[in-house]
Structure 1
Amino acid sequence: MSLAATTRAVLQEAVDVYQDSPRATSWLQRQLTRFDDPLRLAVVGPQGSGRTTLVTALAGEPGQGEMTWFRTSPGRSPDELMLMDTPAIDGGAAPSTIEGICMDADAVLYLVRRPSEANLEFLHTLQDHPVARAAAVNALVVLSRADELGGGRVDAVISARQVARRYRVAPEVERLCQDVVPVAGLLAAAGRTLTEAEFQALGALAGVPREELEPRLLSADRFVAEDFPAPVAAAGRAALIERFGLFGVRLALTLIRRGANTLPALAGQLVPRSGLTDLRDAIDGYFAARREVLKARSALIGLEVVLRMEPRPAAAPLATELERLLAGAHDFRELRLTAALRTGRTVFPAEVKSEALRLIGATGTSRAERLGADPVLLAVRRWRDHAENPELSARERRAAAVVLRSCEAMANGSV
């Protein structure tokens, strides 16, 4: 039986045990209902981190209040994820606000402007729960103003990716999140919602001789100055800066000069260059593709709250079952190993890494997708050899043991 199915059954047992407690019953029924709801993805960060901007970029339209529908990739139904735009999480954020986010969200995007300014206290709080600590698989750190990390150059996001690679393997970050992804949020939102008027204005500016335009692109003040005899009025240039940022304007003009001379062509290059495509892939791979596991995790957290707040002798078997589920929840180990392999925290040779990701469900969770044409018993033997190979590091052997467990589950028919 899958983790989600087992968790549903345990929750139903808990409803029976707590049928005389309206508060507990209502809470448990809410956890059961959430299994059938879209996955809830909270966008969290301090003031100025670009939460609302990123929601617009992901959804392709301005956020609609606290909840916005989000389609992760073509072919998926639009109600698979709901984006939650949350209050700013600063040093003075109320504990109730943080607790509410932790309890309401199945997964979290935690936005920081730059690693040196990152306050990881929220992520510590997010995992400050027995179930959460046992399954720290529901957070991504987003460097949401990646263009600033690269000094606003047209290759700024490339530089930000190098920063992210170093940051994601830092021990304090590794324990708290699945991955670190850089995004130029302002550019991503502008690219997703680019208008014809904006495209025309950018096209006109791209026609200005470079020797006249380049000095004006050294700062926003120079670009919007009244004494700049540009084909676009100062107010129009100011609007472009507000929408794209100086980095986005520079990049857009460069792309137009290189041949992106239609609105779809320009938008089609701005979005991936903003890093948004990488973020959407991360959300899809870490969250959407394993939504049932993350929903089960949320439900187990909800169950633990009831068991702790209203202990009773009849609930003792539920507490035991909760501990058993957490100790044996291999799905969580697969998610952690997926992140470790993709981020370089755990290193295998390329072919071994590719096979490991496939077997643990990173490229598809069905038995056929995991195994491909590989006979399951052959996979078991191969990964048992890896898990017992003294030439591998202890970390690599532990990773191989996780893959071996996945293979054994397929061999005995539980996957």
Structure 2
Amino acid sequence: MTASTTAGAAALIREALEVYADDPQAVQALQGYARRLAEPLRIAVAGMVKAGKSTLLNAIIGEEIAPTDTGECTRIVTWYRHGHTPSITLHPTEGEPRNLPLKRVDGRLVFALDGVRADEVERLDVEWPSPALQAMTLIDTPGIASLSQDVSARSVRFLTPEDSPSEADAVIYLMRHLHASDIRFLEAFRDTEAGRSGTVNAIAVLSRADEVGAGRIDSLLSAGTIAERYSLDPNLRKLALGVVPVAGLLAQSARTLRQPDFEALQLLATLDRAARERMMLSADRFRRSTEPEGLTEEARASLLERYGLFGIRLAIVLVRNGFGEPTPLAHELARRSGLDPLLELLDRQFQARAEALKARTALAAVEDLLASRPRQATERLAVSLERLQANAHEFRELRLLAALRTTGVQLAPELAAEAERIIGGHGTAASQRLAVAPGSGPEVLVSEARRTLARWRSVAESPLAARPAVEACRVVIRSCEGVLADCTGRARQPQSA
């Protein structure tokens, strides 16, 4: 299904290029959307000022390459793409792009704008040989609702342009608390041309989650309860596919754990509990402590900067409970930071639908072109666009998912919840759609798919079902048929010895 949808979007772009061949501006835009179909999914990281966007981006990439201070670079839209050779390219608002020098200090990439002001820069392009960037392009955006209206407006214009699809196919939105301004931004992102089909293409992150419990070791549990409450909020539920609590600073430092960090944490773990608790009453007290012997003030300051009190407390407990090597400790810290659940959600909801989301952006571009630059002889192009929008099952799933989360489709609550799962609301793998154990064999999946398909055909045939419910059932049935066909094909394949 995905391959045909992508091919259909590419064919539509080619048809539009023929129609608008004499319009250089339209041709340039269409060629850009054609390239986007072949590129990794574009995911923007957005949120209010000081929400921890760059820190989370570093955690996802697994390297400290995004600036996390308050310098000029945090006011610039910065793209992070996969490249075999590290490079930074500055694209000014006027003039030709130029390369910036690569400089690392204490393991962190330092951006030197060479005297150029942030308001003179359209964007920065960073290419980096990170495995994470092979599957997605990450876009770091300046803080929304910044004290500087220019900085805030730059993010809003980039993510929610008024007259064209967004540069981003999806967004990770960071928030400290759920405010009306967060809802307004997510509504604007959904209402851009790229989201006009009703696509829900945002994930919310309850950022700096360790601060919810004032740095206590159970802070993430408290943050998880809040995130669950937010995920059920009717205003947010229709705009985001989920809410994940993440301690971004700990996630970043866990992914970049250094040997000196590990040795310092081992020293701290040698102290008895009473001494540790006295020391950890505040950041200032930790920094001024003289215990244990051999841990310098500089090392303490580095730990505070990189892990915070929550991360230090958690790491000490883990070391004392058997995590005696740097790599296992780093993996466990990353897991407990909330990063792993976020990466799993990204994989289930964005990467699994990457081709459909990119194709939707291409279709929105053609739709916008027909509306903004009308001309004769576009009837055939309009028909092709309408046919692809109506017949591509991935788009029908996305539209139904949005409808289930917003207006509803006149299904009983338990059926609506099941429909959301079957069309991929919890992930697009067959086991996730059918609610069976991960790793279940093809025979189990085939049996459950057949049972589910029969039940939904029965629901669709009910004389009491309203028309919106019947239309929703048809989408669910088509999803069941696709899962059944796929699992049946796998069941028939000969098993390797």
Q: Deviations over 1:353-384 (max 9, x none)?
A: 89836899711599x98994249776533221
Q: Deviations over 1:296-332 (max 9, x none)?
A: 0111222233223211122244334434444454314
Aligned to 2:17: 15
- 1:219 pairs, out of 282, 297, 318, with 282
The residue matched to 1:42 in structure 2 has which SS?
strand
1:63 maps to a residue whose letter is: I
Change (3 A) 1:388 1:112: farther
Q: How do 1:266-415 and structure 2 match up within 5 A? A: 266-335=329-398, 348=414, 356=422, 362-363=428-429, 372-374=445-447, 379-387=452-460, 400-408=473-481
- 1:85 pairs, out of 118, 123, 140, with 140
Q: Report how far residue 391 of structure 1 moved.
A: 11
Aligned 8 A contact 1:137 1:332 in 2 = no
The residue matched to 2:38 in structure 1 has which SS?
coil
**Greater mean alpha carbon deviation, residues 280-289 or residues 215-224:** 215-224
Gaps of 5+ in 2: 67-77, 84-130, 161-165, 434-440, 490-497
Aligned 8 A contact 1:43 1:111 in 2 = yes
Aligned to 1:66: 79
Change (3 A) 1:327 1:289: same
Q: Deviations over 1:121-164 (max 9, x none)?
A: 22122122355132322211111211122332212112212211
Q: Deviations over 1:204-242 (max 9, x none)?
A: 011112111202212211111256665412221111111
**Greater mean alpha carbon deviation, residues 47-56 or residues 317-326:** 317-326
Aligned 8 A contact 2:62 2:255 in 1 = yes
Aligned 8 A contact 2:209 2:219 in 1 = yes
Aligned 8 A contact 1:361 1:370 in 2 = no
| Residues 1:178 and 2:178 aligned together | no
User: Structure 1: how far apart are the matches of 2:312 and 2:467?
Assistant: 49
**Greater mean alpha carbon deviation, residues 44-53 or residues 391-400:** 391-400
The residue matched to 1:218 in structure 2 has which SS?
coil
User: Structure 1: how far apart are the matches of 2:24 and 2:314?
Assistant: 58
The residue matched to 1:120 in structure 2 has which SS?
helix
Q: Report how far residue 258 of structure 1 moved.
A: 1.4
**Greater mean alpha carbon deviation, residues 302-311 or residues 240-249:** 302-311
Aligned to 1:73: none
2:10 maps to a residue whose letter is: R
Q: Report how far residue 44 of structure 1 moved.
A: 1.2
The residue matched to 2:378 in structure 1 has which SS?
helix
| Residues 1:206 and 2:279 aligned together | no
- 1:100 pairs, out of 145, 153, 158, with 158
Aligned to 1:32: 34
The residue matched to 1:319 in structure 2 has which SS?
helix
User: Structure 2: how far apart are the matches of 1:360 and 1:202?
Assistant: 38
- 1:56 pairs, out of 48, 55, 58, with 58
Instruction: Kindly tell me the number of residue pairs found equivalent between the two proteins.
Output: 405
Aligned 8 A contact 1:364 1:370 in 2 = no
Aligned 8 A contact 1:114 1:145 in 2 = no
Aligned 8 A contact 1:360 1:403 in 2 = no
Q: Deviations over 1:53-88 (max 9, x none)?
A: 111111111236631449xxxxx8851211112222
Aligned 8 A contact 1:348 1:396 in 2 = no
Q: Deviations over 1:268-315 (max 9, x none)?
A: 210110000000001101111111101101112222332232111222
Gaps of 5+ in 1: 71-75
The residue matched to 1:237 in structure 2 has which SS?
helix
Change (3 A) 1:20 1:279: same
Q: Deviations over 1:381-406 (max 9, x none)?
A: 32212445699999998765532132
| Residues 1:135 and 2:198 aligned together | yes
2:457 maps to a residue whose letter is: R
Aligned 8 A contact 1:144 1:185 in 2 = yes
The residue matched to 1:313 in structure 2 has which SS?
coil
User: Structure 1: how far apart are the matches of 2:340 and 2:485?
Assistant: 38
CA RMSD of aligned residues (A): 3.8
User: Structure 2: how far apart are the matches of 1:143 and 1:17?
Assistant: 46
Aligned 8 A contact 2:142 2:152 in 1 = no
TM-score, normalised via structure 2 length: 0.71
Aligned 8 A contact 2:198 2:402 in 1 = no
**Greater mean alpha carbon deviation, residues 257-266 or residues 56-65:** 56-65
Q: Report how far residue 90 of structure 1 moved.
A: 2.0
Higher helix fraction (1 or 2)? 1
| Residues 1:4 and 2:67 aligned together | no
Percent identical residues: 40
- 1:47 pairs, out of 43, 46, 49, with 49
Change (3 A) 1:355 1:180: closer
Change (3 A) 1:303 1:256: same
User: Structure 1: how far apart are the matches of 2:80 and 2:442?
Assistant: 33
The residue matched to 1:314 in structure 2 has which SS?
coil
User: Structure 2: how far apart are the matches of 1:300 and 1:252?
Assistant: 48
User: Structure 2: how far apart are the matches of 1:22 and 1:63?
Assistant: 37
